[in-house]
Amino acid sequence: MMSADLAPFDDASDNTLNATIERFLNRIAGPYRLLVAISGGSDSKGLLIALHQQLNLHSHITLAAATIDHGLREESATEAQGVASLCAQLGIAHLIRRWDGPKPATGISAAAREARYELLADAARALGANAIVTGHTLDDQHETIAMRKQRNAAEDAPGLSGMADRVLYRNQIWIYRPLLSCRRQMIRDFLTRQGHSWVDDPSNTNSHYERARMRAHLRTADDPNLPRQERREELSRQAAKLIEAHVHRPVAGVIAIDQAAWQAHSRVLRHALQALVAAVGGQSHGPGEQSLLQLLALFQRPSGARITLGRCLAHRYRQGLLLVREARGYQAITLAPNETAVWDGRWQIHNSFKAELRVTASTQRLMMDGKELPASIVALGQQSQPQLYKNGDTLTAISHLDADCQPVISQYFGFLPGFERPLACALADLFAAKPFFPADF
């Protein structure tokens, strides 16, 4: 290992990396602590060292670091200790968090990602960090967009905006990606000149994984034209304005979209509808292209026409469209004392009792003012509400459990891209969910 007195930037590409880090740090005002997510790979190690070299110009900012040992390779524990040694040499507080317990037989990459960010958030709390920074690069951005394009190549597909430069995790902590404009080779060249090696995870070249296959393909492909993320944020703002002006919740569980909404620009309307269907259906993403086209066509049909999509029922009525959770796929859950869980993708429920709490779709049929809505739609809205049982007895006054039973916006519950925050905030207002807090910079 090198000493803590590292060599200064001395190359044109190093100057580019230096400028990138400097721009990022200049955005931070007041005392602030960054947690660097470092694996020992080139990207995250380069991020840590580049940040450390620049902090002499930013005395109000301090660094901490965390390594997540997924326990998927025999070498991972040794690699984590190597990172700990580097951090000790640099005088940076460091924690190792291990992903323990059984691993899924399928979907291991997604499960590992979820575990990684949960453990990073825990480490950030333990080390008093205000935000997390990761080493995602321009190469990662290229790969992400290329993979998403294979699923939906439509010009206005939301996924083609790529990774956001900031993401809110579980409405708890912001994750920043300051190296998204930097190529991986630039960072590796920097580390080499600094006298540092790095670890190459074998999964990065394992063709079993989609990202590894795409990475190999992109080595010989032309660079894609990357989208401007400010355009996606503007789309989010316009969709939020549409919802604020033309969408309301007439009764519990029912969303009404005014006829005037169909005068909006097609791209804005589609973006808003995708978000609304995902939220009403408790899904992690909106409907596919064909389903969305059917929803748009429903507006041209007579009052009373209906379609289903994304676990929702869409009903054409004389004033526009109604959206409600359809009557299928409800799964009851049981919460142990002090346990928290999400029911149906739409409600986060905490059991504050000393007994088990069971949650199902509602079977109650309360007298409600349907404001001339179809009775069947009002009934579906009522059914979509959670019904809680303690010791077999129904808890009828959910309003008394406001601190324990909260609506959530399903598609943004885990990760909220910064460019989607305006739309997410409009949805939180519409569904009376907990507000999403803003980024610090």
Q: Known binding site: residues?
A: 39-44
Residue type, 29: A
Q: What are phi and psi of 314, to 5 degrees?
A: -105, 125
Distance, in Å, from the CA atom of 133 to the CA atom of 222, rounded to the nearest integer, reads 28
Q: Is 410 helix (H, G, I), strand (E, B) or coil?
A: helix
The crossing angle, in degrees rounded to 10, of helices 229-246 and 266-281 is 70
Least Cα distance to 62 among 21, 97, 40, 92 occurs for 92
CB–CB of 142/191 below 8 Å?
no
CB–CB of 293/286 below 8 Å?
no
Distance, in Å, from the CA atom of 387 to the CA atom of 332, rounded to the nearest integer, reads 10
- CA-to-CA separations, 342 to 299, 333, 334, 346, 355, in angstroms, rounded: 33, 9, 11, 7, 18
Q: CB 182: neighbour CB atoms within 10 A?
A: 24
Distance, in Å, from the CA atom of 345 to the CA atom of 419, rounded to the nearest integer, reads 22
Distance, in Å, from the CA atom of 404 to the CA atom of 327, rounded to the nearest integer, reads 25
CB–CB of 95/132 below 8 Å?
no
Binding residues for ATP are: 39-44
Least Cα distance to 97 among 35, 51, 175 occurs for 35
Distance, in Å, from the CA atom of 311 to the CA atom of 313, rounded to the nearest integer, reads 7
Q: CB 394: neighbour CB atoms within 10 A?
A: 14
Q: What are phi and psi of 342, to 5 degrees?
A: -105, 130
Give strand pairing partners of 394: 389
Handedness of CA 303, 304, 307, 308 (dihedral sign): positive
CB–CB of 132/415 below 8 Å?
no
